[in-house]
Amino acid sequence: MENIVLFSAVKANAGLDFVTPLKAVLDSHWYVLGNEVKLFEEEFAQYVGVNHCISVANGSDALELALKGLGVDKGDRVVAVANAGFYGSTAIHAVGAEPLYVDVDPVSLTICPKALAAVIESKPAAVIVTHLYGQLANVEEVVRIASAAGVPVLEDCAQSHGARRNAKQAGSFGTIACFSFYPTKNLGALGDGGAVVTNDDTVATRMRQLRQYGWTQKYQVSIPGGRNSRLDEMQAAILRVKLPHLDVWNEQRRAIAKRYSEAFATLDMQLPCSTGEDYVGHLYVVRVKARAEFAAALKEKMVSTDVHYPIADHKQPAYAVEQVGSLEVTERACETVISLPCFPGLTDEEVDRVIEAVTAYFSKEK
């Protein structure tokens, strides 16, 4: 019996023609910041519903450069959550700022607006709102709270390509937003890639300078903190092929999630809070009491699982963090979350096997 893996970029890519666009790039002899990048940036900005897309080398660079684009500097404080894999925290530390962690909502596991409201008057330099596991956060309320205090909002959309609410897309709510195109993302390249999107013309200009050494013009470094961080033509060409399929793939993910949630509704586990348009099924994450035992039982049935993410950011050994306020929900989530297979190309039979394995575990528990 074949193991049902957690991720599969291969099945989603089946049937797509990558050879033609890659050959066109090779024939052009232009591999960096050429026409494919220009066209992808235009197409992705239009898809998200913003004025500007600035592509970069990867999602981590996108977060770091976006903070710099907002003017976040050494010693500044940036609000973030602590249950999202340390990616936002890495960027905060990289610019010399300090994370100010707030707790997450117990239902969505995204930033809790009430927790944000409790710290916003301290005037942090920015708020990072992470749309975790493909679930759009309560970003409208976050933006309202932050804007009233004059604080910019950075959306981390690395797991939420295409998530929508009231006809607005993830990435179009805040001051600036970041995407990753790592191969396992809902929109993934064949290697690393990332992007920053914004409606702010000034921020967009600054971002284009920061991704290329801080240049105003070639060899003239006009702003500090610049990097060599550029999406290459090959990856842009791949992403242009895949972008028109993103909404269909997201719907396939949601369909799998809906089957799971219907099958697991009466089991002793906490399920994702939505399977609607505000959720794109990047991960199907449940919460269980005995996670190790649950994972072992599914492994026996040849069903892969993973934990996203087991260590809260404020408990990572590399950084000493003086935490203000309770992160009780965050810490409990890190102890109980576990991810089940959910990706385009997962067959009905494979979904049935996952459902059978999960229900069998809870039947034995009784």
Q: Rounded to whole angstroms, how far apart are CA atoms 101 and 314? A: 8
Short-list 342, 131, 135, 349, CA closest to 249: 342
CB atoms within 10 A of CB 352: 12
Name the nearest CA neighbour of 177 among 37, 82, 65, 33. 65
CB 6 within 8 A of CB 304: yes
Q: Domains plus CATH for the chain?
A: 9-244 (3.40.640.10), 246-365 (3.90.1150.10)
Do residues 286 and 338 make contact, with C-beta atoms less than 8 angstroms apart?
yes
Q: How far apart are CA 233 and CA 231, in angstroms?
A: 7
User: Which residues have CB under 8 Å from 76's CB, separation 6+?
Assistant: 97, 98, 124, 125, 126
Contact 278, 156 (CB under 8 A): no
> How much is the pLDDT for 256?
98
β-strands 168-169, 164-165 pairing: antiparallel
Please tell me the predicted confidence (pLDDT) of residue 12: 67
266: phi then psi, degrees, rounded to nearest 5:
-100, 5
> What is the distance between the alpha carbons of residues 32 and 28, in angstroms, rounded to a whole number?
11
Spatial CA neighbour of 339 closest among 61, 5, 1, 97: 5
Taking the complete model, does pTM exceed 0.75, yes or no?
yes
CA angle, 10 as apex, 8 and 12 as ends, to 5°? 85
Number of other CB atoms surrounding residue 94 within 10 Å: 15
pLDDT in tens, the chain (366 residues): 678 777 776 666 768 999 999 999 999 999 999 999 999 999 999 999 999 999 999 999 999 999 999 999 999 999 999 999 999 999 999 999 999 999 999 999 999 999 999 999 999 999 999 999 999 999 999 999 999 999 999 999 999 999 999 999 999 999 999 999 999 999 999 999 999 999 999 999 999 999 999 999 999 999 999 999 999 999 999 999 999 999 999 999 999 999 999 999 999 999 999 999 999 999 999 999 999 999 999 999 999 999 999 999 999 999 987 776 889 999 999 999 999 999 999 999 999 999 999 999 999 865
Instruction: Tell me how far apart the alpha carbons of residues 149 and 296 are, in angstroms, rounded to a whole number.
Output: 47
Helix (H, G, I), strand (E, B) or coil at 118: helix
Question: Pairing state of beta strands 284-287 and 337-340?
Answer: antiparallel
How far apart, in Å, are the Cα atoms of 115 and each of 118, 153, 311, 341? 5, 15, 20, 32
Whole-number Å distance between alpha carbons of 195 and 158 = 10
Distance CA 270, CA 284 (A): 11
